[in-house]
Structure 1
Amino acid sequence: MSLNADPGPPALRLASTGTLTYGLPVSEVLGVSTLAGARLIGGRSGLDRIVQRLNVMEVPDILAWVKPNELLLTTGYPLRNTPQSLDNLVADLDERGLAALAIKLGRYLDSLPAEMIEQADRRGFPLILLPDDVGFDDILNQVLTDILNRQAAVLARTEEVHRALVQIVLCGGGLQEVVDEVASLLDVAVVVLDSDQRVLAGAGPDEHIQAMRAFDVLSGRPGVCANGGGDHLVVPVVAGGFDHGRIIAYSPAGTLREADLGILERAATVAALVVTKQQAVAAVESKYRADYLRDILSGRAGDDDRVIAHCAGFGWDLDRPVMVVVAELDGRSRPADGQSALNGHGAEPRGGRGAEERVAQERLASAWSTAVRRHDRGAAVASFAHEVVAVVGAGEGDETALSSGPVQAMLKEASAIFAEHLSSRRTFSTGISRTVRSPSALPEAYEQAVKAVRVGRQLHGDGARAHFDQLGVYRLLSLVSDPQELHAFVRETLGELAGDDEPELVDLRRTLQVLLETNLNVAETARRLHFHYNTLRYRIGKLERMLGPFTEDAHLRLNLTLALHVLRMRGI
C-alpha cells in the first residue's frame, strides 16, 4: 500500500543532491512520538533526505511500486526466505530515490546482515530499526499528518506574503520595494538580476549583492543551490513567455528555511508583473519620444521655441549648440539610396527582422542610451528602425567632434557596452554631423550624419567612425541629390572601365587609379603594382586609347579621379 501527501504549494527542503523537494527530512520524521523508540542503525549522513510519502512493503516485487522520497516500512515478511537479497536491497532502493527504510525485526527477520548496514552507511541511506510495540498505521497517520500540517502552514504564509507583495505593487511600489519586503521576511539578502545579470534591484550588504551577481544562475536549474548547502535560492522571473532574469535569495550562513522557495516564487511572480508594467510604460514613452525626435529631424515639429519647450519636458536640452550622431548596425540591408530611417516612420522592411536582429538593435539602443546619459544628461536619444540617433551637446571647438573628448568617450563607452552584452560579434558604424545652433537646422544635420555613417562604412569598412566634415571630396559627392547623375557621370567618363564584369578591365582600372594617385609617376606605379616598366607603358597607351590623353589633359585627370571616387562610393 502507498499513502501520498499531496505536495501542494511549496513546502520543501534542500536535499543532499542540491534539489528542492517537498516534505519532511528523515531527521524530523524520527522525532515524531510514534517513533520515539526507533533507532537509526545505518546511513546517518542521509538524515536530510526528504520524506514526501509513505509505503508498506509486504510483497516480494516491491521495487516495481516504490517512488522517490518514500519512507518504506516493512516487517521483513517478503524477505524471510531470501536473505541473500538483503545485501542488494539498500542499493536498489537508493537508486530509486527512496528516503529511508524502516524495518521491524523479530517476527520474520531476527537481524540484518552487516553488509546491508555497511552499504547503508556508504550510500548515506537511512536504515531505521522500529520498536516492536508500534503499529504501521500509527506511523502512517502521524507522519502524514505532520507533512500535511507543514504544507498547510507554508501555504498560509505564502499566501499572506503574496498578498503583501501585490499590495505593494497596487500602491505604486516597484522592484526595490518588492525586494526590500522579501529580504525583510526572509532575513537574507535578495537581488533581482536581468538576463545580462545586471542588478535591477537589491537589498542587503553590498558584498552579498556582488556575490549574487557572480553566481552562474542563468545556466543552472531554477531553485537549486549551487553548493547544495542552502546558501542561496534562485527563481526565474518569467512573464508572457519571456525570461526577464532571476530573483535570488542569499544567506552565507545557510539559514534558508523550507518555505523560502515558495515565498521567492511568489516574489518572482510579482516581480514579473512589475517588470512587465515598467517595460510597457517605457515602450510607450520611448515610442512617443522617438516619434517626436523623428518629427524634429524631418522638420515637422514646429518653430524653435516650441521644440525647445517641448523637449525640456523630456529632459532634452536643445537650446544650445548640438550635433547629430547616427549609429547603424553593420551587416544588414539598409534603406535605398536617398532614403533614411525617417521614411516610412521607421517601419521595418517587409518580412520583418529576425529575433537576433531585433536583439542587436535593442542592445545598440541600450548601449548608446547608457553612454550618452553618462556624458550628457541633456542629450536626446532614440532608436529608429535601422539606426540609433543621438542629439548631443557640442562645446566650443567641437566642429570636428570625432576627435573631441565627450563624443570620443561616448563612442568608446557605447562600443564597450554593446560588445559586452551581445554574444555575437556584431559591429556598428557611426556618423557625426556638423554643429548646429538651432532645432530648425537639425534635419540638415541628421542627413549629414546619415551620409557620414554610410560613406564612412564604404571607405573604411564595418565599424567606421566618420565626421561629415572629414569626408573630403566624398562629402561633396554625397551632396548630389540624384544618384543616377553620379552613375551616368561614371559611365560617360570611364566607359568600359565602369563595369566589374570583365577581370581584365577591372585590372586596367586599378592601374589607372594608382597612376592618378602617384601623379603619373610611372616608376612608382610600376613598383606598387609589381609591373615591369615597359608593361606599364603599354598599359598607359591602352588606357589613353580608351579614355583619351589623360597624361596631358589635367581636366580629364580630374574627371577620371572623381569618377573613381564615385565608384568607391558604390552602394551608398
Structure 2
Amino acid sequence: MGRQNGITIEDALNMEYMKNCKLVAGFKGIRNTISKVNVMADPDILSWVDEGELLLTTAYSFKKDNIEEQKNLIRECSKKKLAGIGIKIYPYLNELPEEVIKLADDLNFPIIDLHYSIPLSDIMTPLFNEIFNRQSYLLKKIEKIYEQFMDAMLKGANSNQITKLISDSVKNPVYVKFEFPEETIVQFDYVDDSIKELLLENATKFFDPNIDRSKEKKLEESNELIGGKYIKRMILPIVAKDSIYGHIVAWSINTPLGGYDLSVLEIASTTMALEILKALSVREVENRYKSEFLEDLISLEDRRVEKAIERASFFNINKKDRFLSITLKIKSKEENLSKVDITSGEMQHYITKIHDLIDRNIIKQFGINGIVVSKTERIQILLSLKKDTKLDILIEEINKKFQEIIEKFNNLDFRIGIGRPYEGLENFNNSYLDSVKAISTGKILNQNAITSFEHLGIFKILCQDNIEDELIKFYNTTLKPLVEYDEKKSTELVKTLEAFFENNGNLKKMSDFLYTHYNTVLYRIQRINEITKMSLENPSDRLNLEIALKIKQLLKK
C-alpha cells in the first residue's frame, strides 16, 4: 500500500456521509489507504480492479447459500491488495456469515457495512472529492520536499544532513546504511531511548549476509514486532549503475507510513544515488591515473619506468622509500557458479566496495602512503614505507584487515600475494613479481587465501621463472620414474612417499595415516628405493626426493 495516496479507511468512516456505516471485520486494516473507488455489479469486476481501491457493492450479488463463493470474493480482494470492501448488507441479508467475518479478520481486510439508506453514488462522490483533495495536497508537499532535497544537494549537504531531512519529513526514525563508502547513519530524534536499541537490532537483522533480502532492488514493506507492538517498516534500496549501494530504513513509530513517506524515501534515494555516482566518477578518474602510473612502473621498458618515477611526486611518493607490492585476485567461488552466476557488473560492484575497504581500513587507518588500483577481478596495491617501519608488525595487522574483508564477501574467492620490500621506486617491479608468484605458488600449495612471498621457504627459489628447465630435468631424474610406475601399475608409491615426509619417516604413523598394514608400508618403501635408485635412509637422497615432490606441485605433474 506504500505507493497509494488518498485517505484511510478510518478517515472515510469519520466523514459525515458515512456516519451510519460501520466496520464489521478486518479492524487491523483500518489504516489501509483508499486511492480509488469502484462499484461491483458482478464478481467479474475483480479482473479490472487496482491496488488501493475501495470496492462498493450490495449483498444482492451474494448467493445466500454459497458461503464459499462469498469467502472467495474476500480472499481475492485481499490478494489484489484492495483497501477494503463496502457492502450494503441489509435488506439482502441480515448479516454476513461468521465464516466470512472470520476470514476477513484473519486477512486484516476491512469490510464496511454500508447503511441501506445511502445510495452508492452519495458515497462515491464525496470520497472521490476527498481523495482528489488529499492527492493534490500531497503532490504540493512532495514538490516542496523535492525542492528541499535538491537545494540541500546543491548546497553540498552531507549524508548526515540528508538523513536528518528524511527523518524530519516523515516524522519517524530513519536508518541509512551505505555500502560505498561504507557508513551507517542513524537519525532517531523522534523516538524514546528505550526503543532505539530495538530499532538498531531490527535493522541489523535485515542486513544479515546470509539473507538475500538486502539484495533486492525494490521497496520492502513489512510489519515488524518491536517492543511488543507491530510496527510498519519501509526499506528502500539506493541504486546506482544497476547496483545497490545502500538502503534507507524507516519505521512508523510516531505516524503511519504511506504514499507521501514513500515519495520522500524515493527522492532521498535518488539524491543519495546521485552523490554516489559523483563519488564513483571521481574514483574512476583517480583509478585510471593511478593504474597508468603502476603499469608504467612495472613495465619492462626503461623509458616507461623512468616516466613513472618522474611522476611519483604527484602521488606524494618518495622514490627513495622502501616499496611493497600486494596483489589481489578475486573471482566467484566455483561452488556458487551453478547457483547464481555473478555478472561482470556485480563483480565490478564488489571490486569497488573492496577497493573502498582497503583505502579506509588499511591505507588510511594505518597512515600508510600508498596507491590502490582496481581492475576487473584484480586489485593492485603499492605501499611506500619509511625505512624505520616495523614491517613484520605492519604485515600482521594488514593480514588481519584482509581477513575481515574476506569474511564480508563469502561468495568470492580471494587470492592475496604479498611481495618482499625493495628499496627505491625503480625496484618496485621486483616486489610486484614476488606478490604474483606468491599467489600462484600459494594456490598450488593449497595455503590460506593470503600468501607472503617471504614465508614460502624453499619455494622462493623453486618458483623462479629462469630455472624452470632445470626443475624439469631434476624432476625427470628423481620422481618421474615413480609417477610413471604408479600410472602403469595403479599403485600408490608417490602417496606413500608424501606420507613418509608428513610423518617424519615414522613407519608406524605412516601405517595409521594410510590405513595400511605396517608390512605393506615397509614393502612400498623398498619399492620406492628400487624404482628411484635412491635410499630414504640417505640424507641427500631424502632431501632430493622431498624437493622433487615440491617441484611436482609447482609443475602440476
TM-score normalised by structure 2 residue count: 0.74
- 1:267 equivalent to 2:261? Answer no
- The CA deviation at 1:411 is 0.9
Aligned residue in 1 for 2:204: 214
Note the alpha carbon deviations across 1:299-343, whole angstroms, 9 max, x for none. Answer: 73437974542221xxx676643433334448999xxxxxxxxxx
Contact kept, 8 Å, 1:50 with 1:69, in 2: the verdict is yes
| C-alpha separation in 2, matches of 1:415 and 1:383 | 19
- 1:137 equivalent to 2:121? Answer yes
- The CA deviation at 1:222 is 1.6
Unaligned runs of 5+ in 1: 1-13, 334-351
Instruction: Kindly tell me the number of residue pairs found equivalent between the two proteins.
Output: 514
Note the alpha carbon deviations across 1:431-455, whole angstroms, 9 max, x for none. Answer: 3333323212211122222223332
Aligned residue in 1 for 2:481: 496
Aligned residue in 2 for 1:349: none
Contact kept, 8 Å, 1:231 with 1:254, in 2: the verdict is no
Larger radius of gyration: 1
Matches for 1:45-56 after TM superposition, within 5 Å: 45=27, 46-56=29-39
| C-alpha separation in 1, matches of 2:347 and 2:506 | 48
- 1:383 equivalent to 2:369? Answer no
- 1:290 equivalent to 2:291? Answer yes
| C-alpha separation in 1, matches of 2:504 and 2:60 | 107
Aligned residue in 2 for 1:439: 425
- The partner residue of 1:226 within 208, 223, 228 is 223
Matches for 1:305-324 after TM superposition, within 5 Å: 306-312=310-316, 320-324=321-325
Structure 1 residues 557 and 268, CA, compared in 2 at 3 Å: closer, same or farther?
closer
Letter in 1 for 2:295: R
Matches for 1:169-188 after TM superposition, within 5 Å: 169-173=153-157, 175-188=159-172
- The CA deviation at 1:144 is 0.6
Secondary structure in structure 1 of the residue aligned to 2:222 = coil
| C-alpha separation in 1, matches of 2:95 and 2:505 | 101
Structure 1 residues 251 and 143, CA, compared in 2 at 3 Å: closer, same or farther?
closer
Contact kept, 8 Å, 1:193 with 1:213, in 2: the verdict is no
| Structure with more of its chain in helix, by fraction | 2
- The partner residue of 2:134 within 150, 160, 165 is 150
Letter in 2 for 1:282: R
Structure 1 residues 246 and 533, CA, compared in 2 at 3 Å: closer, same or farther?
closer
Structure 1 residues 513 and 537, CA, compared in 2 at 3 Å: closer, same or farther?
closer
Aligned residue in 1 for 2:472: 487
- The partner residue of 1:101 within 80, 86, 96 is 86
Letter in 2 for 1:473: I
- The CA deviation at 1:146 is 0.9
| C-alpha separation in 2, matches of 1:494 and 1:117 | 85
Secondary structure in structure 2 of the residue aligned to 1:388 = strand
| C-alpha separation in 2, matches of 1:331 and 1:262 | 37
Structure 1 residues 243 and 122, CA, compared in 2 at 3 Å: closer, same or farther?
same
- 1:570 equivalent to 2:555? Answer yes
| C-alpha separation in 2, matches of 1:44 and 1:521 | 78
| C-alpha separation in 2, matches of 1:357 and 1:411 | 23
Contact kept, 8 Å, 1:175 with 1:274, in 2: the verdict is no
Structure 1 residues 474 and 76, CA, compared in 2 at 3 Å: closer, same or farther?
closer
| C-alpha separation in 2, matches of 1:263 and 1:523 | 74
Contact kept, 8 Å, 1:308 with 1:318, in 2: the verdict is yes
- The CA deviation at 1:172 is 4.3
| C-alpha separation in 2, matches of 1:476 and 1:505 | 33
- The CA deviation at 1:245 is 3.4
- 1:448 equivalent to 2:434? Answer yes
Please say which of residues 435-444 and 447-456 is displaced more in the overlay.
447-456
Note the alpha carbon deviations across 1:244-268, whole angstroms, 9 max, x for none. Answer: 3322223533454551112212222
Secondary structure in structure 2 of the residue aligned to 1:235 = strand
Secondary structure in structure 2 of the residue aligned to 1:294 = helix
| C-alpha separation in 1, matches of 2:450 and 2:57 | 78
- 1:412 equivalent to 2:397? Answer no
Aligned residue in 2 for 1:340: none
Contact kept, 8 Å, 2:243 with 2:346, in 1: the verdict is no
Structure 1 residues 112 and 507, CA, compared in 2 at 3 Å: closer, same or farther?
closer
- The CA deviation at 1:549 is 8.6
Contact kept, 8 Å, 2:510 with 2:521, in 1: the verdict is no
| C-alpha separation in 1, matches of 2:346 and 2:252 | 37
Secondary structure in structure 2 of the residue aligned to 1:96 = helix
- The partner residue of 1:40 within 22, 29, 35 is 22
Structure 1 residues 538 and 435, CA, compared in 2 at 3 Å: closer, same or farther?
closer
Aligned residue in 2 for 1:23: 6
Contact kept, 8 Å, 2:233 with 2:252, in 1: the verdict is yes
Structure 1 residues 386 and 183, CA, compared in 2 at 3 Å: closer, same or farther?
closer
| C-alpha separation in 2, matches of 1:200 and 1:260 | 21
| C-alpha separation in 2, matches of 1:258 and 1:522 | 77
Letter in 2 for 1:214: T
Contact kept, 8 Å, 1:53 with 1:71, in 2: the verdict is yes
Letter in 2 for 1:43: A
Matches for 1:458-537 after TM superposition, within 5 Å: 458-459=444-445, 461-463=446-448, 465-492=450-477, 494=479, 496-497=481-482, 502=487, 504=489, 507-508=492-493, 530-531=518-519, 535=523
| C-alpha separation in 1, matches of 2:538 and 2:250 | 81
Note the alpha carbon deviations across 1:223-253, whole angstroms, 9 max, x for none. Answer: 5133395543222323443333322223533
Aligned residue in 1 for 2:113: 128
Please say which of residues 483-492 and 88-97 is displaced more in the overlay.
88-97
Secondary structure in structure 2 of the residue aligned to 1:151 = helix
Structure 1 residues 317 and 184, CA, compared in 2 at 3 Å: closer, same or farther?
farther
| C-alpha separation in 1, matches of 2:200 and 2:115 | 49
Letter in 1 for 2:177: L
Please say which of residues 138-147 and 386-395 is displaced more in the overlay.
386-395
Structure 1 residues 301 and 450, CA, compared in 2 at 3 Å: closer, same or farther?
same
Structure 1 residues 161 and 538, CA, compared in 2 at 3 Å: closer, same or farther?
closer
Matches for 1:360-375 after TM superposition, within 5 Å: 365-373=355-363, 374-375=365-366
- The CA deviation at 1:279 is 2.0
Letter in 2 for 1:477: L
Secondary structure in structure 2 of the residue aligned to 1:463 = coil
Structure 1 residues 186 and 495, CA, compared in 2 at 3 Å: closer, same or farther?
closer
Secondary structure in structure 2 of the residue aligned to 1:375 = coil
- 1:248 equivalent to 2:249? Answer yes
Contact kept, 8 Å, 1:75 with 1:103, in 2: the verdict is yes
Aligned residue in 1 for 2:337: none
Matches for 1:319-338 after TM superposition, within 5 Å: 320-329=321-330
